[in-house]
């Protein structure tokens, strides 16, 4: 063997080793390996689903199991009714969506879901970002993936079962109630139609057009309306569907493209055939996985346990499920409340995409995460909310282009963007909308009154930015109206005089009574809901020290309720009160440790729940806790980062207790911001000292622009609190400056 040959062999081995090492590193660093869509799918815990989705995409394609689940699927159920295309992840209540149900099978015609539903083989079920697979008891393998506006189904029938193969399209399925539907059998490979479905018990609805394209012609069909059946190609009504029979000598694999559009059947067909150009299922699956990877890889975690990484990336994934793109690929859309009007995105901006599907009472804090990591999408999210303000008058107030929940804190999301410099929208329309939200907000109880003061604050902030001097004085008074509700002599149930907000500022007999004075909570939970003026709240309570003592008492006595939104900022309030070490303690406690929870959304648990709030198993959350459109998943992500927006209207984040040794934010600004927590562990969660870009950093908050500029925030962590870190009066949070 010559020296040249030896060198060539050595080089080949070296290249192979480097390639192998690089491949392993890529796999280890791939955030998708840590995404588990089954987390929060078992029982009434999270109300999430395992099916296929696209980041902020319109289609939420997932299995429907038997029973009355909130979002169509319970992990423990045995039967599959089919696969539907619309839902609001974690929406709680009765769920919103469930429309356009499709199921493959082997059998003879029936129009009844409880007759064509089928058991599935649990051990064969798989889910990952953008992909879902199961095997039915009949042997059919069903696989799902999606693009932004289209679902892609691949059904593989068993070779040995060629007779009575079918696919059923059921158009009456809805979580809340179908109002109307239409069906048009265009030919033996194409079906179009429409579903008009309730998405709230209160009467709100969405109207969605669809187009189904099959790669295999069906041999015959039976359509139905109620009990009437036959081969009519056109059906209309709220109890219709069609049964497609496939030939015995046909292909064993049948694929369906399902395009969706709030605009028209023609546009739905365009989405189906342009977003999925050919019939390469695996290509679309991989492209969707890449879209998810691009989003999630913007946060690069090094170190820490696989369990915490799984929770982190799964809940980051959950944070990006809504809102949903609702404009077409052609740049057209139907605005909220304007069913009969067609709008063009180019008239707002050349790069405008219209979004809908909102649950803003719940998840408004989430948008501080989105504006940090996705400022481009945030720009269009805010434009869409301003569009809602612009078009909500004079139309059908119940219409939305996609399933919908609620809009209360619209102004918080707009001001989160505005104060971070994301301002490419109509500020005057935004101001008028926020002012109208405040002025027309109904007041039924104490919690409404507190929330109304917060609403006034959105309009005030925008009025100040726009120099509206005539508006500022009245709005300032309105933001302070919460002070009139303070009852300084109110005792807690243990007989301690603490002061509480009460309906008229007068004493009440029981501060722990649930839902008597406030929505989904008691007076303890709303005692902290003055997000815009923590300084004023402290003054009412007798000073920072007194309020801090009360807050610690609140946690020590297990009054804190993490499974609902009104008090989820409370662990971070110690940063305002001169005791950041207690924020570190309680934020870490509710992020990773076992806790006691006394309450569900509507009262006391029969027996207190003792568990971790966040777990990497199918239950995922504690009993009856909803994810609420990313509200709770984004809380975990931000707390795990060590950054949390107590008041998202302000352009800064409170510092908690980071759980990973190293987390790098790859920002759209082109800069990286690295958060290092030396010596961090489950025991070492207290900040001992910190440096920002090599210089001493001694404040318990950090500005958005500092993060976007890039840099390194380095913490030294320990097992005992450093009660002096972050308490320098010169570095207090903005709410306490000049006091």
Q: What's the CA gap between 66 and 327, in Å, rounded?
A: 32
For 243-254, the pLDDT digits (tens) are: 999 999 889 999
Q: What's the CA gap between 298 and 672, in Å, rounded?
A: 9
What pLDDT does 736 receive? 52
For 338-391, the pLDDT digits (tens) are: 999 999 999 999 999 999 999 999 999 999 999 999 999 999 999 999 999 999
Question: Is the pLDDT assigned to residue 610 strictly greater than 80?
Answer: yes
Give the model's confidence band at 77: pLDDT under 50 very low, under 70 low, under 90 confident, else very high: very high
Phi and psi torsions of 11, nearest 5°: -65, -40
* CB 469, CB 459: distance < 8 Å: no
What pLDDT does 731 receive? 66
For 401-439, the pLDDT digits (tens) are: 999 999 999 999 999 999 999 999 999 999 999 999 999
Q: What's the CA gap between 645 and 571, in Å, rounded?
A: 12
SS (H, E, C) 173-198: CCCCCEEEEEEEECCCCEEEEEEEEE
* CB 31, CB 313: distance < 8 Å: yes
What pLDDT does 534 receive? 94
Residues in a beta bridge with 245: 166, 220
Strands of the sheet containing 672-678, edge to edge, are 299-302, 662-666, 672-678, 711-718, 686-692, 695-696
SS (H, E, C) 509-570: CCCCCCCCCCCCCCHHHHCCCCCCCHHHHHHHHCCHHHHHHHHHHHHHCCCCCCCCCCCCCH
What pLDDT does 253 receive? 97
Q: How many CB atoms lie within 10 A of CB 134?
A: 20
DSSP classification of residue 731 = G
Domains defined along the chain, listed by start? 36-296 (2.70.98.10), 307-736 (3.30.2080.10)
Question: Is the pLDDT assigned to residue 58 strictly greater than 70?
Answer: yes
Q: Output the CA torsion 567→545→653→587 (10° steps).
A: -60
Question: Is the pLDDT assigned to residue 644 strictly greater than 70?
Answer: yes
For 200-236, the pLDDT digits (tens) are: 877 899 999 999 999 999 999 999 999 999 999 999 9
Residue 200 is inside which H or E element, if any?
none
What pLDDT does 730 receive? 67
Residues 6 or more apart in contact with residue 437 via CB below 8 angstroms: 408, 410, 411, 455, 458, 459
DSSP classification of residue 579 = -
ω before 653 within 30° of 0 (cis)?
Answer: no
| Average pLDDT of the segment spanning 163-170 | 97
What pLDDT does 739 receive? 36
What pLDDT does 728 receive? 77
Q: What's the CA gap between 244 and 242, in Å, rounded?
A: 6
Indicate the average pLDDT of the chain: 94
Residues in a beta bridge with 102: 83, 169
Residues 6 or more apart in contact with residue 522 via CB below 8 angstroms: 511, 512, 513, 514, 515, 516, 599
């Amino acid at each position: 063997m010559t020296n040249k040959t030896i060198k060539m062999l050595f080089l080949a081995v070296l290249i192979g080793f480097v390639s192998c090492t690089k491949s392993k590193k890529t796999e280890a660093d791939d955030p998708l390996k840590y995404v588990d869509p089954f987390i929060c799918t078992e029982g009434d815990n999270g109300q999430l689903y395992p099916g296929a989705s696209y980041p902020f995409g319109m289609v939420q394609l997932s299995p429907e199991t038997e029973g009355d689940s909130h979002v169509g699927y319970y992990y423990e159920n045995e039967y599959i009714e089919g696969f539907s295309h619309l839902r609001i992840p974690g929406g709680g209540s009765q769920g919103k969506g469930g429309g356009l149900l499709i199921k493959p099978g082997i059998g003879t015609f029936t129009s009844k879901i409880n007759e064509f539903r089928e058991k599935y083989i649990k051990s064969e079920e798989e889910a990952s970002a953008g992909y879902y697979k199961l095997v039915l008891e009949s042997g059919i393998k069903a696989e799902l993936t999606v693009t932004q506006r289209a679902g892609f189904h691949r059904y593989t029938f068993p070779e040995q079962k060629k007779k009575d193969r079918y696919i059923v399209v059921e158009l009456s399925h809805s979580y809340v109630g179908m109002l109307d539907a239409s069906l048009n059998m265009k030919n033996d490979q194409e079906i179009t139609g429409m579903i008009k479905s309730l998405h709230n018990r209160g009467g709100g609805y969405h109207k969605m057009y669809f187009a189904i394209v099959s790669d295999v012609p069906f041999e015959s069909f039976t359509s139905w309306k109620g009990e009437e059946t036959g081969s009519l190609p056109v059906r209309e009504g709220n109890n219709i569907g069609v049964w497609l029979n496939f030939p015995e000598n046909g292909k064993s694999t049948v694929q369906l493209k399902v395009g969706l559009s709030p605009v028209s059947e023609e546009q739905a067909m365009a989405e189906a055939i342009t977003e999925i150009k050919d019939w390469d299922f695996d290509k679309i699956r991989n492209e969707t996985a890449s879209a998810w990877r691009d989003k999630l890889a913007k946060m690069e975690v090094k170190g820490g346990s696989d369990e915490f990484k799984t929770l982190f990336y799964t809940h980051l994934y959950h944070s990006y499920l809504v809102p949903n793109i609702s404009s077409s690929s052609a740049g057209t859309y139907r605005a909220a409340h304007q069913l009969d009007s067609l709008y063009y995105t180019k008239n707002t901006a050349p790069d405008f995409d219209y979004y809908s599907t909102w649950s803003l009472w719940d998840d408004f804090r989430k948008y501080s995460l989105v504006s940090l990591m996705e400022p481009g999408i945030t720009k269009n999210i805010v434009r869409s909310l301003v569009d809602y303000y612009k078009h909500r008058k004079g139309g059908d107030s119940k219409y939305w282009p996609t399933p919908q929940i609620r809009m209360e804190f619209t102004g918080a999301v707009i001001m989160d963007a505005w104060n971070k410099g994301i301002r490419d929208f109509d500020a005057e329309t935004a101001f008028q909308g926020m002012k109208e939200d405040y002025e027309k907000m109904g007041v039924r109880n104490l919690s409404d009154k507190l929330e109304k003061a917060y609403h006034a604050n959105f309009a005030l902030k925008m009025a100040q930015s726009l120099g509206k001097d005539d508006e500022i004085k009245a709005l300032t008074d309105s933001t302070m109206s919460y002070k009139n509700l303070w009852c300084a002599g109110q005792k807690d149930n243990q007989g301690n005089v603490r002061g509480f907000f009460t309906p008229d500022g007068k004493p009440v007999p029981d501060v722990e009574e649930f839902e008597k004075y406030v929505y989904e909570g008691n007076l303890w939970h709303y005692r902290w809901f003055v997000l815009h003026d923590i300084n004023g709240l402290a003054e009412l309570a007798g000073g920072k020290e007194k309020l801090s003592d009360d807050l610690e008492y609140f946690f020590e006595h297990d009054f804190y309720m993490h499974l609902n939104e009104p008090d989820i900022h409370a662990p971070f309030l110690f940063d305002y009160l001169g005791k950041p070490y207690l924020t570190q303690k309680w934020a870490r406690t509710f992020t990773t440790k076992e806790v006691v929870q006394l309450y569900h959304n509507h009262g006391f648990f029969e027996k207190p729940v003792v568990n971790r709030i966040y777990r990497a198993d199918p239950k995922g959350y504690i009993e009856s806790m909803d994810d609420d459109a990313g509200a709770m998943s984004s809380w975990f992500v931000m707390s795990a980062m060590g950054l949390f927006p107590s008041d998202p209207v302000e352009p800064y984040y409170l510092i908690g207790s980071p759980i990973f040794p190293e987390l790098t934010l790859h920002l759209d600004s082109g800069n990286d911001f690295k958060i290092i927590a030396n010596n961090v562990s489950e025991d070492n969660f207290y900040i001992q000292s910190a440096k920002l870009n090599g210089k001493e950093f001694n404040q318990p908050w950090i500005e958005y622009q500092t993060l976007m500029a890039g840099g390194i925030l380095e913490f030294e962590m320990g097992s005992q609190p450093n009660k002096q870190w972050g308490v320098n009066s010169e570095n207090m949070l903005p709410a306490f400056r000049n006091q």
